[in-house]
Amino acid sequence: MSVENIVAQGGEHLAVHGLEWTTKELFTYPNEFIYWSIQIVMYPYMTGLVAGAFVLSSLYHVFGQQDLKNMARFSLVFSLALLPVAMMPLQFHLQQPLRGINVMFTPHFTSAIAAFGIVFSTYAVIVLSEIWFVYRQFFVDQVNTLKGKEGAKDRIMYYLYIVLTLGAFDTSDEAVAKDKKAVKILAAIGIPIACFLHGYAGFIFGSVKANALWMSPLMPVIFIMSAIVSGIALCMLTYIIIMEWKKWSTIIAKGKGDESVKMLAGAELDVITKTSRYLLGFLVAAITLELLDLIFRGYTAMKSWDILRSVMYGKDFINIFLLQYTLGNLVPFIMLLVPGLTIRRVFFALIFVLFGVFMMRWNVVIGGQAFSLSFAGYMHYHLPIIPHSMETFKEGLFGAMTVAATPFVLFYFINKVTPSLEYK
């Protein structure tokens, strides 16, 4: 196959999609390449984070977990920042990015992807309207505060907030109570939709009958479980960072021995300990399902098992068993289970959990293309690092980093309009 690669790279202006980062071993069909690359790894990872963040915010709005009050605002606004990012990897991956909107024009409903536009926009509408109800009173307050101020920035913000109120200036107790009720209803509807958004990402893979690794009815459930795991982990991590920041700013202001510092630290550990129990539960569910899938494949040993085994236990052993199961699952599991939990230990456990979920996505998407449909050959993926064309940028390390960084940039701007960290 090496000769092929050399010759084909000679005519590189005719870039064959996938050729750049695929090397082949033994017998593969001529047209087989790693067509779904890093951006398709990012897609379920980012959707999982969106779903998880939203579910966490709903815990407060629906079930009234008071200790999550500040967290809930943050995770709601953060899930809005994550929202466009769930679509970004798909846009980056499409060969015809400008035609992406065709999915909305002519959805072909026998396809699992066709529903994406509908599920995604339903979810977007719910998140946006929930944020509107949460912040409506704040918008009205801002309009009243900024009224009559002269500065250019104040004028812009004034008109922006007027638009954002959508003409609803009523802040009577009755109206505010209605807002709260609306938030509760929207958050409750949002939970199943968030799970659906993600479970359906699992269905996209699980329903590909041609792919021996992907095809499994467990796939959507595994995806939902790991999505909740990663979403909770990210929100806990961010919560720790915010609380530590608060604690340190209090220490600087009031001194280390101050009563409020101890209170903050105590409250932080309490919330983290409680939330980590949920995390552990979902982690156990996710690992159990994944192992069930693996054991079942080994026991039934269908035609594809020979090649799957050689990929899992051979070529991808480090990625699957060391990085995903051991470092990403087992290590944080033990870290969270050992009594005497400290914030520092949780912090590192959460980073491992997030890494483990990322590796799970990687092993599904890339691992699923590591073997040929002929079951007689292998394909290896080489992530493009230094981009030298649009394609190697979009579907390379920098493209993935762009996707990963975007929610934080978006959050910075959205947070200017709807402050989710300071506003009480």
**Which residues sit at the interface with another protein, rule CB under 8 A?**
1, 3-4, 7-8, 10-11, 14-19, 26-33, 35-36, 90, 93-96, 99-100, 102-103, 105-114, 116, 204, 207-211, 303, 372-376
Q: What is d(CA 109, CA 238) in angstroms, rounded to the nearest whole number? A: 38
Report the residue number, 20 or 130, with the smaller CB distance to another protein.
20
Report the residue number, 39 or 230, with the smaller CB distance to another protein.
39
Q: Would you tell me how many other CB atoms lie within 10 Å of the CB of residue 393?
A: 16
Q: How far is the CB of 15 from another protein (least distance, A)?
A: 6
Q: What is d(CA 214, CA 45) in angstroms, rounded to the nearest whole number? A: 16
3-state helix, strand, coil in the chain (%, to 5): 75, 5, 25
Q: Which residue from 270, 235, 310 is spatially nearest to 74, judged by alpha carbons? A: 235
The tokens for 167 are 């003409």
Q: Which residue from 124, 133, 132, 287 is spatially nearest to 197, judged by alpha carbons? A: 124
Q: How far is the CB of 111 from another protein (least distance, A)?
A: 4
Contact 239, 154 (CB under 8 A): no
Report the residue number, 95 or 342, with the smaller CB distance to another protein.
95
Q: What is d(CA 83, CA 121) in angstroms, rounded to the nearest whole number? A: 10
Report the residue number, 17 or 178, with the smaller CB distance to another protein.
17
Q: How far is the CB of 88 from another protein (least distance, A)?
A: 14
Q: What is d(CA 56, CA 72) in angstroms, rounded to the nearest whole number? A: 7
Report the residue number, 102 or 273, with the smaller CB distance to another protein.
102
Report the residue number, 111 or 249, with the smaller CB distance to another protein.
111
Report the residue number, 252 or 302, with the smaller CB distance to another protein.
302
Q: How far is the CB of 200 from another protein (least distance, A)?
A: 12
Q: How far is the CB of 101 from another protein (least distance, A)?
A: 9
Report the residue number, 109 or 413, with the smaller CB distance to another protein.
109
Q: Would you tell me how many other CB atoms lie within 10 Å of the CB of residue 264?
A: 19
Report the residue number, 74 or 92, with the smaller CB distance to another protein.
92
Q: How far is the CB of 190 from another protein (least distance, A)?
A: 24
Q: How far is the CB of 117 from another protein (least distance, A)?
A: 9
For residue 61, give every residue at least 6 positions away whose Cβ sits within 8 Å of its Cβ, in sequence order, or none. Answer: 72, 76, 130, 183, 184, 187
Report the residue number, 121 or 145, with the smaller CB distance to another protein.
121
For residue 114, give every residue at least 6 positions away whose Cβ sits within 8 Å of its Cβ, in sequence order, or none. Answer: 103, 107, 108
The tokens for 5 are 């690669």
Contact 350, 331 (CB under 8 A): no
Q: How far is the CB of 210 from another protein (least distance, A)?
A: 4
Query: What size, in residues, is the chain?
Result: 424
Cα dihedral 131, 87, 98, 19, rounded to 10, equals 170
Q: Which residue from 380, 256, 408, 252 is spatially nearest to 316, judged by alpha carbons? A: 380
Q: How far is the CB of 45 from another protein (least distance, A)?
A: 18
Burial class (CB in 10 A: 0-12, 13-18, 19+), 163: exposed
Q: How far is the CB of 396 from another protein (least distance, A)?
A: 17
3-class DSSP state of 366: coil
